[in-house]
């Protein structure tokens, strides 16, 4: 039995605690994170800021994740603009560069890339890739498949189909 003020204060503290928990663990995984690119221009700008190969690999893994949020933002039905072919190729190759990591990283990379390759407007972007760029992505896919094993053959096939290889 406390005063009205004490009861309100306690309730406010409970709300804040619940909100913090929701933000930490209850975030909708299909929503963009604050630092995710919202479109093609944002991706290209952020990509150019990554200087080293390690930074590029880390950034590619951060944005091309298995929840598909960034894939939807970049290539979904409501997306605007087209991702530059050079940037798309570099991001895909960097995301597939998991040869030094555990084999479970291959599965995550392929799942993320499959979401990108199957997105509604990806076909338009893929049509701008040169044969050399497609070859770079295909080489990376083959290396990831060799690392991950035969269990990923169908997934790699779907990705190659999306990239028009």
Eight-state DSSP code of residue 109: H
**129 in the same domain as 77:** yes
For a pLDDT cut of 70, what percent of the chain falls above it?
A: 76
Q: What is the CA radius of gyration of the chain?
A: 20
Domain count, the chain: 2
pLDDT in the model for residue 18:
42
> Do 75 and 107 reside in the same domain of the chain?
yes
Residues 83 and 67 both lie in one domain: yes
What integer pLDDT is reported at residue 39 of this predicted model? 84
Q: Are residues 158 and 138 in the same domain?
A: yes
SS3 3: coil
| Residue 130 to residue 144: CA distance in whole angstroms | 21
Do 49 and 123 have their domain in common?
yes
Burial class (CB in 10 A: 0-12, 13-18, 19+), 158: middle
- Mean predicted lDDT score pLDDT of the chain: 80
Give the pLDDT confidence of 129-144 residue by residue, as tens digits.
999 999 999 999 999 8
* Same domain? 67 vs 120: yes
pLDDT at 94: 92
pTM: 0.72
The tens digit of pLDDT for each residue in 114-124 reads 988 988 888 88
Q: What angle, rounded to 10 degrees, do the helices at 131-148 and 85-96 form? A: 10
pLDDT of residue 82: 84
CB of 109 within 8 A of CB of 98?
yes
pLDDT given at position 92: 92
Q: Do 95 and 138 belong together in one domain?
A: yes
Which one is predicted more confidently, 41 or 80? 41
- Asked whether the predicted pLDDT for residue 17 surpasses 50, the reply is no
Residue 28 has pLDDT above 80, yes or no: no
Same domain, 24 and 62: no
pLDDT digits (tens, 9 = 90+) for 55-80: 999 999 888 888 888 888 888 877 77
Helices 85-96 and 103-117 sit at what angle, rounded to 10 degrees? 150
> Are 24 and 38 in the same domain?
no
Residues 16 and 74 in one domain: no
Range of the domain at 78: 31-162
Residue pair 101/145 in contact (Cβ under 8 Å)? The answer is no
What is residue 79's DSSP assignment? -
Tell me how far apart the alpha carbons of residues 110 and 158 are, in angstroms, rounded to a whole number.
10
Please check whether residues 16 and 41 belong to one and the same domain: no
Q: How confident is the model at residue 157 (pLDDT cuts 50, 70, 90)?
A: very high
Same domain, 9 and 47: no
């Amino acid at each position: 039995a406390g005063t009205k003020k004490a009861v309100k204060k306690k309730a406010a503290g409970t709300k804040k605690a619940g909100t913090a928990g929701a933000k930490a663990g209850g975030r909708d995984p299909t929503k963009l994170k604050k630092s995710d690119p919202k479109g093609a221009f944002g991706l290209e700008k952020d990509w150019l800021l990554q200087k080293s190969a390690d930074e590029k690999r880390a950034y590619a893994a951060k944005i091309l994740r298995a929840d598909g949020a960034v894939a939807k933002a970049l290539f979904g039905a409501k997306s605007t603009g087209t991702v530059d072919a050079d940037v798309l190729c570099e991001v895909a190759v960097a995301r597939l560069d998991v040869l030094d990591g555990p084999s479970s990283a291959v599965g995550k990379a392929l799942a993320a890339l499959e979401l990108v390759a199957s997105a509604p407007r990806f076909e338009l972007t893929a049509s701008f890739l040169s044969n050399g760029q497609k070859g770079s992505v295909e080489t990376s896919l083959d290396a990831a498949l060799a690392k991950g094993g035969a269990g990923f053959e169908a997934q790699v096939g779907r990705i190659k189909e999306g990239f028009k290889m």
